[in-house]
Amino acid sequence: MHKHHRALGLAAASFRNALDVAQALSPVQPVTLTRPHAAARAARFFSEKFPGRSMYAVKANPSPELIQILWDNGITHFDVASIAEVRLVARTLPDATLCFMHPVKAEEAIAEAYFTHGVRVFSLDSLEELEKVQRATRHASDLTLCVRLRVSSEHSKLSLASKFGVAPHEAKALLFAARQAADALGICFHVGSQAMSPDAYAQAMERVRQAIVEAAVTVDVIDVGGGFPSVYPGMEPPALERYFEVIGRAFESLPISYSAELWAEPGRALCAEYSSLLVRVEKRRGNELYINDGAYGALFDAAHIGWRFPVKLLREPESTVRDHPFSFYGPTCDDLDHMAGPFELPADVGAGDFIEIGMLGAYGAAMRTAFNGFTSEQTVVLTDEPMASLYMDSDRSAVADMASNVVKL
């Protein structure tokens, strides 16, 4: 079967699972494994169940294939943060709506986004940025301006609380000024990435309420940002429906016009399940495995913020030896290229073994470099399920709901 794949060219190859890839290709470089069906399922989930509009935060994974999959499954709006992301999405999806949600932009980027790519939505967190947007768009009268509030990141694994966002005592003046300049006025925030509790959004919405009441302005858009979690070892969040309920309820009770819109900017939750990584163990030293990808590859978060990803030893027959905690070294000549884990693998794992590292679709592939000559140039499509999922249960309960509706009828 793999001869057939080679004859077709690898771009067209699709495999059942990571073990098949390891056996067929014995790849010397790490291979990115994608699961288009998992990204499609996540996109449908958000477009059907979030009680507002979901736009994809492109920085989480800017792969054109992924962006196309999300579009095909109901995601029509994209949160872009740089002019390169604006151009990428405009080129990939000419009909998509782009929202430029980085609160500190180059004036040239704003002008190109507005005049060349039709971008009308911009976020900002200072009067200087408001003036910049007005100058760059020649005081356009069709802008949606979203004021970014600073909110707590206490429920999140990755803080976004210090760099951006207007402080409470300055929000009133900025909202008032933005209202004068905007066709539509929005308020946005980001609770931090991988928010482990819906309370994060409830608390942020309370901040939004205070800001609206103090500024006494009419608000047309509430944008709850990203932060929706995925599932990793030791991090099992509540069901996403719980987040949607909390956000929907808070939105309904805000003092805003009844035609106001609710937006979200999920990054991680839409793409974490989209890809994983096939790596090879080059050496074992005690409980340390030297693998061929690392901190400068797709494992930045594993190295720098101690993120744990699920791992699986790919052997047939499966190892029957008990699991044991390992740490990883990446391939570069650099002590920083170390992933503490712990990663649980059968105790007999060793040089020459292949491992699948899962849930790397968000902030994995996106951060890869070719430092020291180590990188991954090959991508292969898989048809099996991701190593963990927040969406498979919802498929099952949808089936169950349908069944109970049938009974009721």
Ligand X SMILES: *Cc1c(COP(=O)(O)O)cnc(C)c1O
Closest CB to ligand X among residues 45, 354: 45
Which position among 36, 52, 237, 266 is part of the footprint of ligand X (CB under 6 A)?
266
Beta bridge partners of 54: 264
Task: Verify binding: residue 155, ligand X, rule CB under 6 A.
Answer: no
Which position among 60, 130, 215, 339 is part of the footprint of ligand X (CB under 6 A)?
60
Number of residues that bind ligand X (CB under 6 A): 17
Closest CB to ligand X among residues 20, 79: 79
Query: Three-class SS of residue 2?
Result: helix
Amino acid at 402: M
Which position among 32, 66, 69, 79 is part of the footprint of ligand X (CB under 6 A)?
79
Please report how close the Cβ of residue 133 comes to ligand X at its closest, in angstroms. 16
Task: Verify binding: residue 227, ligand X, rule CB under 6 A.
Answer: yes
**CA–CA separation, 219 and 345 (whole Å):** 52
**CA–CA separation, 247 and 146 (whole Å):** 18
Query: Three-class SS of residue 241?
Result: helix
Task: Enter the DSSP assignment of 224.
Answer: -
Which position among 41, 190, 308, 312 is part of the footprint of ligand X (CB under 6 A)?
190
Task: Verify binding: residue 299, ligand X, rule CB under 6 A.
Answer: no
Which residues have C-beta within 8 Å of that of residue 50, sequence separation ≥ 6? Answer: 244, 247, 264
Task: Verify binding: residue 57, ligand X, rule CB under 6 A.
Answer: yes
Q: Enumerate residues 113-142 that contact ligand X by CB under 6 A.
A: none
Only one of the segments 221-229, 251-259, 349-357, 391-399 lies at the binding site for ligand X (rule: CB under 6 A); that segment is 221-229
Task: Enter the DSSP assignment of 373.
Answer: G
Task: Enter the DSSP assignment of 198.
Answer: T
Phi-psi region of 68 (alpha: psi -120 to 50; beta: other; left: phi over 0): alpha
Which position among 5, 37, 41, 59 is part of the footprint of ligand X (CB under 6 A)?
59
Please report how close the Cβ of residue 77 comes to ligand X at its closest, in angstroms. 12
CA 183 to chain centre: 29
Whether residue 119 contacts residue 100, with contact meaning beta carbons closer than 8 Å, is answered with: yes
Task: Verify binding: residue 71, ligand X, rule CB under 6 A.
Answer: no
Beta-carbon count within 10 A of 287 CB: 14
Q: What DSSP assignment string belongs to 341-359?
A: EEEEEETT--TT-EEEE--
Whether residue 96 contacts residue 89, with contact meaning beta carbons closer than 8 Å, is answered with: yes
Q: What DSSP assignment string belongs to 13-27?
A: -EESSHHHHHHHH--
Please report how close the Cβ of residue 45 comes to ligand X at its closest, in angstroms. 14
Task: Verify binding: residue 52, ligand X, rule CB under 6 A.
Answer: no
Binding map of ligand X across residues 309-348, x = CB under 6 A, - = no contact? ----------------------------------------
Which position among 228, 251, 326, 354 is part of the footprint of ligand X (CB under 6 A)?
228
Q: Enumerate residues 360-389 that contact ligand X by CB under 6 A.
A: 362
Q: Tell me which residue of 312, 284, 314, 280 sits closest to 297, measured CA to CA.
A: 280
Which position among 30, 36, 62, 226 is part of the footprint of ligand X (CB under 6 A)?
226
**Would residue 333 show up in a list of annotated catalytic residues for this protein?**
yes
Contact set with ligand X (CB under 6 A): 57, 59-60, 79, 101, 190, 193, 225-228, 265-269, 362
- Hey, which residues are catalytic here? 333
